[in-house]
Amino acid sequence: MSTNIENILIIGSGSAGLTAAIYAARAGFSPLVLTGIQPGGQLTITTDVENYPGFQDAVQGPWLMEQMQKQAENVGARIEYDLIVDLDKDVWPFKVKTDSGKEIQAETIIIATGAQARWLGIESEEKYNGKGVSACATCDGFFFKNKNVAVIGGGNTAVEEALYLSNLCQNVTLIHRRDELRAEKILQNRLFDKKNINILWNNKVDEILGDDFGVNSLKLISTKDGSETTIKIDGIFIAIGHDPSTLVFKNKIDLDQDNYIITNLGETATSVPGIFAAGDCVDKIYRQAVTAAGMGCMAALDAEKWLANNK
């Protein structure tokens, strides 16, 4: 088993992890990035990205992440295709075990392990992913300008997505499996006030239907009496929650009730001094590549300062 001592170990290679790597490398460290199971993170499973600043035209998500990785490497970050399986936070330097059998010692750690959107788990959802099926209205809503879309879910995310889409789309249908929403009342009131949002209660999606051009309708089943209906739509946004990739940190670093890493507002320090966190493993509200990148930058600056004060 090989052992190295790292100044700054970054766990995760989405926009938070790679931005942290760029900043840490440019500050004179040679940070090690463990990519995790999905190198490049959630942007690698999207197509057109139009809201990441700096590009006149849409860029492809996988291309953007490849560029970010090359940028990090060019300024001195080291990238390893490995994932963390255990953390010992009670020793310093901290000890991390990886899937490939390595043990890495690290003076500071930046956790940027991200989150995964929950999906319905039906076959047609995968078939039309990127062709009318999305889990992010802010990312993909623009492609459905003046069209008719459905949003699935009854929580804060679903209601916020529906409200966002209602400003772009002709009509939004919120489809919820029960007859009441779990979203906050203030959001519910805004939703009910919108003229171009209608709600289909007590229904779930049985199948997403489409053709070579993408999604064109949904087959729904009533959760009350099992009756079937088909509605015409151009796009479907699944908003049934996200799961942060933080299980390996449970009982080691403070997590909230939804397993997101707890940091103070505007900070990246976790409950363990010397361990910082950034991006979607912390943030359940904004969840954007650009906000994750911003937090990655903050985490690198915080880690550098911590090393300067504690080493």
Site map (CB under 6 A) of ligand NDP, residues 119-158, x = contact: -x-------------------------------xxxxxxx
Minimum CB–partner distance for residue 242 and ligand NDP (Å): 6
Candidates 258, 270, 259, 272; CA nearest to 295 is 270
Q: Note if the bond before 244 is cis, omega within 30 degrees.
A: no
How many residues line the site for ligand NDP (CB under 6 A)? 19
Least spacing, CB of residue 297 vs ligand NDP, in Å:
23
281 belongs to the catalytic site: no
Residue labelled with tokens 């190295």: 4
**From the list 92, 284, 290, 294, which residue makes contact with ligand NDP (rule: CB under 6 A)?**
284
- The catalytically annotated residue of 57, 82, 136, 297 is 136
Pairing of strands 235-238, 242-244: unpaired
Nearer to ligand NDP, 70 or 178 (CB): 178
- According to CB under 6 A, which one of 95, 204, 214, 301 is a site residue for ligand NDP? 204
**Close Cβ partners of 70 (under 8 Å, ≥ 6 residues apart):** none
Nearer to ligand NDP, 76 or 155 (CB): 155
Q: Which of 140, 280, 283, 302 is catalytic?
A: 140
Residue 258 interacts with ligand NDP (CB under 6 A): yes or no:
yes
Q: Which residue is nearest to ligand NDP (CB)?
A: 155
Per CB under 6 A, the segment of 7-15, 108-116, 137-145, 175-183 that binds ligand NDP is 175-183
**Contact between 95 and ligand NDP per CB under 6 A:** no
> Is 169 among the residues known to form the active site?
no
Q: Give residues with Cβ within 8 angstroms of 236, minimum separation 6.
A: 128, 132, 133, 134, 149, 150, 151, 152, 205, 208, 215, 218
Q: Which of 95, 97, 131, 177 binds ligand NDP (CB under 6 A)?
A: 177
**Which tokens belong to 121?**
């788990």
- Which residues does residue 278 pair with via DSSP β-bridges, in sequence order? none
Determine how many CB atoms are found less than 10 A away from the CB of residue 203: 23
Active site residue 140: yes
Write out the residues near ligand NDP by the rule CB under 6 A: 120, 152-158, 160, 177-178, 182, 204, 240-242, 258, 284-285
List active site positions.
Answer: 136, 139-140
